[in-house]
Homo-oligomer: A and B are copies of this chain.
Amino acid sequence: MTGYSHQKRFLVAVDCIIFGFDGQQLKLLLIQRGFEPEKGKWSLMGGFVEKEESFEIAAGRVLHKLTGLENVYMEQLYAFSDPVRDPIERTASITYFALIDINQYKHQISKDYHAEWFQLNKVPKLIFDHTEMVEMAKEKLRYKAALHPILFELLPEKFTLPQLQVLYEGVYDATFDKRNFSRKVLSTGLLVKQKEKEKESSKRGAFYFKLDKRKYKTKFDAFLNFIPNPHKLK
């Protein structure tokens, strides 16, 4: 016996919801689909799962193909399985969301896919159920970032407190008091102050911080509490 003979077999794809932060705004990387159906329409980057590949490996491969990056934070989001979500042939899609530092991203590679970064509130119409996937990913990002320090995955190695605050404010579409914010993040003990300052965005300059990688790993599951208060939402 070489298989479970009478069962139906399916196509399985992975799709990546790729978030990036450019120092100002949280963005989403989309491509223009290169084959039919829906050729030329905006779409998440995806690909079929190959024969000897786990979904995780497939998602990493797809992400690498578009961005040139490896060792990126990725997390399985959800398995989408509506039998008619792809009109050509039934295809399940296992989605992954990825967080990348936009500055490390290689722009030239993505030209092949006609890729572009979009502001989160300016995402165009997407093919199939990709809009739903993006919405779910945004929600999960907010949920998870309220409890775990994952947003650091979006930042370069050195970053300033004002940059970090802009990022959190972007994710939650809220504004925070900078005194309370800095006290809260510093109280986690995850940040190490550097001697240099970032002098681009202000005259006085803001001190750089680095993540304490050892503590980051051990405290990743320690619950934080970055959920904005309802009355502070913009």
A interface with B by C-beta (< 8 Å):
1-4, 7-12, 36, 48-56, 76, 78-79, 81-83, 88-92, 94, 223, 227
Contact of A92 among B55, B78, B83 (CB under 8 A): B55
Question: How far apart sit A51 and B7, CA to CA, in the bound complex (Å)?
Answer: 9
Q: How many copies does the complex hold?
A: 2
Assess the A48–B4 pair: CB atoms within 8 A.
yes
Question: How far apart sit A141 and B83, CA to CA, in the bound complex (Å)?
Answer: 29
Contact of A55 among B48, B54, B79 (CB under 8 A): B79
Assess A7 versus B55: contact at CB under 8 Å? Given A79-B94, A92-B12. no
Contact partners of A79 in chain B: CB under 8 A: 55, 76, 79, 94
Residue of B nearest to A78 (CB): B76
Supply 20 further A-B pairs (C-beta < 8 A) apart from A4-B11, A8-B51, A55-B81: A1-B36, A2-B88, A3-B88, A4-B88, A4-B89, A7-B11, A8-B49, A8-B50, A9-B9, A51-B83, A51-B90, A54-B81, A54-B82, A55-B79, A55-B92, A56-B81, A76-B78, A76-B79, A79-B94, A223-B227
Contact partners of A11 in chain B: CB under 8 A: 3-4, 7, 9-10
Contact partners of A223 in chain B: CB under 8 A: 227
Report the minimal beta-carbon distance from A143 to chain B, rounded to whole angstroms.
9
Contact partners of A8 in chain B: CB under 8 A: 48-51
Question: How far apart sit A127 and B55, CA to CA, in the bound complex (Å)?
Answer: 21
Report the minimal beta-carbon distance from A83 to chain B, rounded to whole angstroms.
5
Report the minimal beta-carbon distance from A37 to chain B, rounded to whole angstroms.
9
Question: How far apart sit A227 and B8, CA to CA, in the bound complex (Å)?
Answer: 43
Question: How far apart sit A90 and B49, CA to CA, in the bound complex (Å)?
Answer: 12
Contact partners of A10 in chain B: CB under 8 A: 9-12, 49
Residue among A51, A56, A81, A89 with most chain B CB within 10 A: A81
